[in-house]
Structure 1
Amino acid sequence: MVERRNKPSALASTPGLVPQPQVNISHGNQRVSAVLPTGESVEVMLYGATVVSWKDSDGNEKLWLSEATKLDGSKPIRGGIPLVFPVFGPPPANHPTSKLPQHGLARTSRWEFLGKSTSESEAAEADLSVKLDFGLSAATLDEAARALWPYTFGLIYSVTLTRDSLTTSLVVTNDDNKPFDVQVLLHTYFRIPDINKIQITGLEGAEYIDKVDNRKIKTQETPAVTITSETDRVYTPKGGADAPIAIVDQSSGRPLYKLSRDNLGDVVVWNPWAEKAVSMPDFGPDDGYRNMVCVEAGAVRGWQTLEPGDAFEGAQTITLA
């Protein structure tokens, strides 16, 4: 090999090229991670396509993940952003979803990683993003799962990371020759400093189902929701999917997270509080309820009926303050 006296500089230092996001598959092909050149990151398990981590550029975790949850595919993951499909909560009797486990089959199925896409290489560093796509269909379900809900369907789930936001979107298609009903929910566990010092805004005047109080229909009378006991409510904001929701630090009045929704008209607010947290074997630590709150975008008050060939798409974007 001839030694050149004037070697060109390494390609990595080529002027004008912005460093690109890095995507890796790890943990025995069980986890997909993406990292922006500025340090922000996201991790998604192929089991359930559950987002289990979202960190800012300083490495601060934004999602709450139970220390007691299983990440080996043996049980649904407690924390992060589990996917609820095609039924929310315990399935109703005498309904086509009645044989399914609570919250459906998406969060307990192994998804396929379909690939990544990134912003253009010449984009400014602040505009860099990476999108991860995952797929699940009736054809990829195991035989036992197909027997519980025997419809032909397709799901495409996309997770998009930017410097200051995380977007998760789900597209459901009916590939069957008969209609079916579905419910969809993005069951987001937010990490917070102290449950006693946050409030949730954007729900004033909204009707909600209070699942802790015998599913009574109530109206949010105060400007903000505060959590002081076990809370499990299904809100329908007055502004529909256009109503902005925020998790606010009461001491400073500063939003910690802002939540915008697309075609997801309901918002579930959940915190187990002390007694229930202790009774849940996959919830840990026992006082972990102090540092989490679920604010979940979904379409769950009724059913979305998809005719053959129809599709339903819903999305949320979480923006950091």
Structure 2
Amino acid sequence: MEPSSGVGAEKRPPTVDLVKDKNGTDQILLQNPKGASVKISLHGGQVLSWKTEKGDELLFNSTKANSKPPHPVRGGIPICFPQFGTRGSLEQHGFARNKMWLVENNPPALPSFDSTGKAFVDLVLKSSDEDTMRIWPHSFEFHLRVSLALDGNLTLISRVRNINSKPFSFAIAYHTYFSISDISEVRLEGLETLDYLDNLHEKERFTEQGDALTFESEIDRVYLNSKDVVAVFDHERKRTFLIRKEGLPDVVVWNPWEKKARALTDLGDDEYKHMLCVDGAAIEKPITLKPGEEWTGKLNLSLVLST
């Protein structure tokens, strides 16, 4: 992100504050010394906002989003776990995005930041007999660190641990809604020559033929075994999103386009034009953990401005 022109901006410490939304749901607000910010809701462990030091919002949120639990918010970065899509008796995209998460070491020892000027918060979702075990009979702990660096980069690090007596498997996706100028004007690079599963054609497998993805209609694909870096170019806003990932081999690309957008009650009819979902994910080959094993996945989002 651009360096701050404010005098003494580097000298302000990062801050981590506990705030509430209009429904009384706890949220964590991270700010770096330059004024960039990230807001995370304890409902779903969901990042809702990621702003530059100038206050520009980088994540899309629908004006029609239902922010009252147990509904997930349409926008930001919902966490899809332990499944992506619909399968069996679990709700679509799993339950993690609909549960209340806890701040680790509750009551939280806020603020949390390190010597590099990075502000962060550690959240946790644990299985429970009266809740998750009834729909997904596995004992787990899901630890999530959300951090905002001095350069404005946003990082999510997940650790999922099996604390059960039997193995279990799961899929995961960070369903990231990027805010864009116009879906018809952006391009996505880094997925060329990859195989993908097309959810609009009953998960049939195809191979990407183009050098870059551009968008002219609905898209719902899972690209397999992708590079560790993909990029969304938004020429009108003169900015590029870089998506770096570790432990997340797949990339979901989704935009509902006009017809499906009109059918979604929590999305404005024309809002599909200003959003693009590009997810770091592990979907095709679920992750299997034996008792005591732990999996780690990392997503890093950064912004590059052009002149």
TM-score calculated relative to the size of structure 1 = 0.85
User: Which has the larger displacement, 20-29 or 191-200?
Assistant: 20-29
Question: How many Å separate the matches in 1 of 2:201 and 2:239?
Answer: 29
Name 1:289's counterpart in structure 2.
Answer: 272
Q: Deviations over 1:29-79 (max 9, x none)?
A: 521111122110010111001100000001000000111112121311111
Please report how far the alpha carbon of residue 117 of structure 1 lies from its aligned counterpart in structure 2 after TM superposition.
Answer: 2.9
1:75 corresponds to 2:71: yes
Matched, 1:113 2:103: yes
1:24 is the counterpart of 2:17? yes
SS of the residue corresponding to residue 243 of structure 2 reads strand
Who is 1:157 aligned against? 144
Contact 1:42 1:54 in 2 (8 A): yes
Tell me what 1:312 maps to. 295
Tell me the residue number matched to 2:123: 134
Pick one of 167, 171, 193 that aligns with 2:159. Answer: 171
* Residue 260 (structure 1) shift: 0.7
- Stretch deviating more after TM superposition (52-61 or 206-215): 206-215
Q: Is the 8 A contact 1:246 1:255 kept in 2?
A: no
Report whether the alignment pairs 1:36 with 2:23.
no
Partner in structure 2 of residue 4 of structure 1: none
**Alignment partner of 1:225 out of 213, 217, 222:** 213
Distance in 2 of aligned mates of 1:266 and 1:74: 28
2:242 to 223, 239, 258: 258
Contact 2:39 2:47 in 1 (8 A): yes
AA matched with 1:81: I
Distance across 2 between alignment mates of 1:146 and 1:67: 34
| Seq. identity, % | 34
Q: Secondary structure at the match of 2:40?
A: strand
Q: 1:212 to 1:312 in 2, by over 3 A?
A: same
Q: Measure, in 1, the Cα distance between the counterparts of 2:190 and 2:233.
A: 11
Structure 1 pair 171–77 and aligned structure 2 pair: CA distance change class (3 A) = same
Partner of 1:7: none
CA distance in 1, matches of 2:119, 2:28: 12
Preserved CA contact (<8 Å) 2:197 2:203: yes
What are the Cα deviations for residues 249-289 of structure 1, in whole angstroms up to 9, with x where unaligned? 3569x651011111100000000000000000111x21000
For 1:210, which of 179, 183, 198 is the aligned residue? 198
- 1:102 corresponds to 2:92: yes
Distance of aligned partners of 1:218 and 1:129 in 2 relative to their CA distance in 1, 3 Å threshold? same
CA contact (8 A) 2:46 2:97 kept: yes
Question: Runs in 1 of length 4+ with deviation above 6 angstroms?
Answer: none
Name the counterpart of 1:198.
186
Per-residue CA deviation, residues 184-235 of structure 1 (Å, 9 max, x unaligned), is 1100000001111100000000000111123221111111011110100000
Separation (CA, whole Å) in 2 of partners of 1:133 and 1:32 = 10
Q: Runs of 5+ in structure 2 lacking a partner? A: 1-7
SS at match of 2:97: helix
1:300 to 283, 298, 305: 283
Which runs of no fewer than 5 residues in structure 1 stay unpaired? 1-14, 92-97, 121-126
2:70 touches 2:99 (CA, 8 Å); kept in 1?
A: no
Indicate the RMSD between aligned Cα atoms, in angstroms: 1.8
Report the equivalent of 1:273.
Answer: 257
Residue number in structure 2 paired with 1:246:
231
For the pair shown, the structure with the greater C-alpha radius of gyration is 1
Instruction: State the Cα deviation string for residues 230-252 of structure 1 (Å, max 9, x = none).
Output: 1000001454xx3x200013569
Q: Distance in 1 between matches of 2:261 and 2:70?
A: 21
The 1-side partners of 2:79 and 2:120 are apart by 17
Per-residue Cα deviation, 1:285-311 (whole angstroms, up to 9, x for no partner)? 210000000000010012111100011
> Quick one: distance in 1 between partners of 2:57 and 2:212?
25
Q: Secondary structure at the match of 2:11?
A: coil
- Tell me, in whole angstroms, the C-alpha distance in 1 between the residues paired with 2:17 and 2:126: 24
Residues 1:298 and 1:238: Cα distance change in structure 2 (over 3 Å): closer
